[in-house]
Chain A
């Protein structure tokens, strides 16, 4: 919400320039590898936020449904209610950290034990 222009790390300042035909464009379209890396980073984070965030919140919902105390209907509903909060937090995390790698790592670290918990439940159920 601040009105001061924000300098983007790695990207040249965003200054529109007019070209010969009188049309103008932003000057931060690919100029060297730094800008390209920045754009790849944004794409990677967007993917992490939308897909990774959903996967993490779906895992939280599933683990709650399995292990939350109370009836299984209660547990399932609790997991769903919580999942959108987790999703929002995941998105914030992804865009708050310093690099896209960290963003993915931060999603993966909690996802692994959650996935193991789900697989463990599935294994117990399928075992005779």
Chain B
């Protein structure tokens, strides 16, 4: 459509990146944070910081949790018990609510238990089965994880289509970016600072090329995580619309379909022999989750799922037992077809849960590079576009509305989000601990702060606005260790000697992000506008360059 192939691809790269760039920046930022969602949640529940939880034998933990569930949710159709790990010291017990009559009120929640829809959840002390010190209500890192693909304030299905649409644009932008890029290797070593547009281009290229395999992987695997929703047409035809049959064949680990409860009360089989069988097969400490279907009923089943720890695939082999006799019913093995295995590896890659701390850290840094790549791409468009107006502005004219809109959206989406994310953490510590609907209040504050920043950015898309917003973001991030010190006893001076790396790591990462944002703000404040003529323009007409 343009003169040459490369020019056409350049055009596609520009527009596919620009049109969804603001959403992509949020998706990248929230996704990057999600690598450490357990640590974020732990930091956001300071009540847990003191709980010195030791690792107990699996059998003891399982028995305590089952006793707690028998007491708390005897009529529930399904229990889930997630055993503790180094990253999550409590044992997480969740259960579906017992069926209630239509119109009947849900029973009140006891302290330490949270509810989402019909689904209850509590962190229990592995040693006693009692809910851990009642924690403040917060969505924690789970909020960023959901924001990453479910957005907020809208049905998840719409959100996932929107995110999928944007991810497809991203994939096209990456491929066209590679095609356009003649000197992909040489440019990686090229950085020409203080050269206006060239510098932005270099920064964009460096962050894109540096983490290119990651960007490609994460975008494609992101589509793969939701592909059953985006591309349902194959099984629609071959399974004639029988979604359940398809799911059962692709994910046998989800177990046999639940039989209807028989209504005959039968006690649950002891856990010790079941766990011993699993340990014999997988080794000690390798059970991640215990699922009990129809507990206390004659048709109960118990599924033990294996930790995916050292295997990239997200598929979890599982052993299914009869819940009353303890007989092994079936084993779900990981050995399935190539395509299904590929899918679960790709899925597992996207989530990165297999990764040890170092690799997880590398993913995190690559995710940050993704954020910078998207941000510099957006800024590059803005800078190029504004350069077209140099002569117009020199004559006292104004830049076009497109340029102004992109400038405003850039401030709002990039700097605004960098303010909203730490504001979420500040809200977590500063809102009254006992307030009603506290978790949602934190989230509302996140979006409220973001909205204010975005409106301010759209109204005054100027360089000064960038400096102000980046400065606020730098302060909010950078002061988080102080906030933590003021509101808990686990400040850096205490958490580092105690080896509480989840808390210390969070504080230090925020400090680092704050420092980086401060550098950006200072650099913007010191840099003279590239174009002197813009200064000469009459004050009431001049459009101060944003960057």
Shortest Cβ gap from A93 to chain B (Å): 11
How far is A2 from B177 in the complex, measured between Cα atoms in Å?
11
Kindly list chain B residues whose C-beta atoms are within 8 Å of the C-beta of A42: 1
From residue 26 to 68 of chain A, which have CB atoms closer than 8 A to chain B? 26, 41-42, 45, 57-59, 61-62, 64-66, 68
The number of residues on chain A lying at the interface, defined by a beta carbon within 8 Å of a beta carbon of chain B, is 56
Q: B190 on the interface (CB 8 Å rule)? A: no
Residue on A nearest B380 in the bound complex, by CB: A1
Whether the pair B1, A1 counts as a contact (CB closer than 8 A) is no
The interface bits of chain A over 96-108 (1 if a CB of B lies within 8 angstroms of the residue's CB, else 0) are 1111100000000
Whether the pair B175, A77 counts as a contact (CB closer than 8 A) is no
Q: B282 on the interface (CB 8 Å rule)? A: no
Residue from B343, B389, B397 with most neighbouring chain A CB atoms (10 Å):
B397
Whether the pair A75, B12 counts as a contact (CB closer than 8 A) is no
Whether the pair A73, B249 counts as a contact (CB closer than 8 A) is yes
How far is A62 from B13 in the complex, measured between Cα atoms in Å?
29
Residue on A nearest B164 in the bound complex, by CB: A84
Q: A112 on the interface (CB 8 Å rule)? A: no
Q: B267 on the interface (CB 8 Å rule)? A: no
Whether the pair A77, B392 counts as a contact (CB closer than 8 A) is no
Interface residues of A (CB under 8 A from B): 1-3, 6-9, 14-18, 22-26, 41-42, 45, 57-59, 61-62, 64-66, 68, 70-81, 83-84, 87-88, 91-92, 95-100, 118, 121-122
Contact of A3 among B201, B233, B236 (CB under 8 A): B201
Whether the pair A92, B10 counts as a contact (CB closer than 8 A) is no
Q: B30 on the interface (CB 8 Å rule)? A: no
Whether the pair B12, A92 counts as a contact (CB closer than 8 A) is yes
From residue 175 to 222 of chain B, which have CB atoms closer than 8 A to chain A? 175-177, 179-181, 197-198, 201, 205, 220
Contact flag A65-B238 (CB < 8 Å), given A73-B246, A73-B250, A79-B231: yes
Whether the pair A81, B237 counts as a contact (CB closer than 8 A) is no
Whether the pair B397, A74 counts as a contact (CB closer than 8 A) is no
Kindly list chain A residues whose C-beta atoms are within 8 Å of the C-beta of B384: 3
Whether the pair B234, A84 counts as a contact (CB closer than 8 A) is no
The interface bits of chain B over 357-382 (1 if a CB of A lies within 8 angstroms of the residue's CB, else 0) are 00000000000000000000000000
Contact of A62 among B8, B224, B228, B237 (CB under 8 A): B237
Whether the pair B227, A80 counts as a contact (CB closer than 8 A) is yes
The number of residues on chain B lying at the interface, defined by a beta carbon within 8 Å of a beta carbon of chain A, is 61
Contact of B398 among A22, A59, A100 (CB under 8 A): A22
How far is A115 from B220 in the complex, measured between Cα atoms in Å?
26
Whether the pair B246, A61 counts as a contact (CB closer than 8 A) is no
Contact flag A6-B398 (CB < 8 Å), given A65-B235, A74-B338: no
From residue 444 to 470 of chain B, which have CB atoms closer than 8 A to chain A? none
Contact of A77 among B5, B8, B339 (CB under 8 A): B339
A-B pairs with beta carbons under 8 Å apart, 27 shown: A1-B13, A9-B3, A16-B388, A18-B395, A23-B398, A41-B1, A58-B233, A61-B233, A61-B234, A62-B237, A65-B235, A65-B238, A72-B238, A74-B338, A76-B235, A77-B250, A77-B342, A80-B228, A80-B231, A81-B339, A84-B224, A84-B227, A88-B175, A95-B11, A96-B8, A100-B1, A118-B237
With contacts defined as CB atoms under 8 Å apart, how many contacts are there between chain A and chain B in the complex? Answer: 162
Shortest Cβ gap from A7 to chain B (Å): 7
Shortest Cβ gap from A51 to chain B (Å): 12
Whether the pair B343, A77 counts as a contact (CB closer than 8 A) is yes
Q: B168 on the interface (CB 8 Å rule)? A: yes
Whether the pair A6, B11 counts as a contact (CB closer than 8 A) is yes
How far is A10 from B489 in the complex, measured between Cα atoms in Å?
68
Q: B340 on the interface (CB 8 Å rule)? A: yes
11 extra interface residue pairs, beta carbon distance < 8 Å, beyond A81-B343, A83-B227, A87-B168: A1-B177, A3-B384, A22-B541, A25-B400, A62-B237, A65-B238, A72-B235, A77-B337, A92-B176, A97-B1, A100-B1
Contact of A96 among B9, B220, B224, B337 (CB under 8 A): B9
Shortest Cβ gap from B382 to chain A (Å): 14
Whether the pair A79, B234 counts as a contact (CB closer than 8 A) is yes
Whether the pair A1, B250 counts as a contact (CB closer than 8 A) is no
Residue on A nearest B187 in the bound complex, by CB: A1
Contact flag A71-B176 (CB < 8 Å), given A58-B231, A62-B234: no
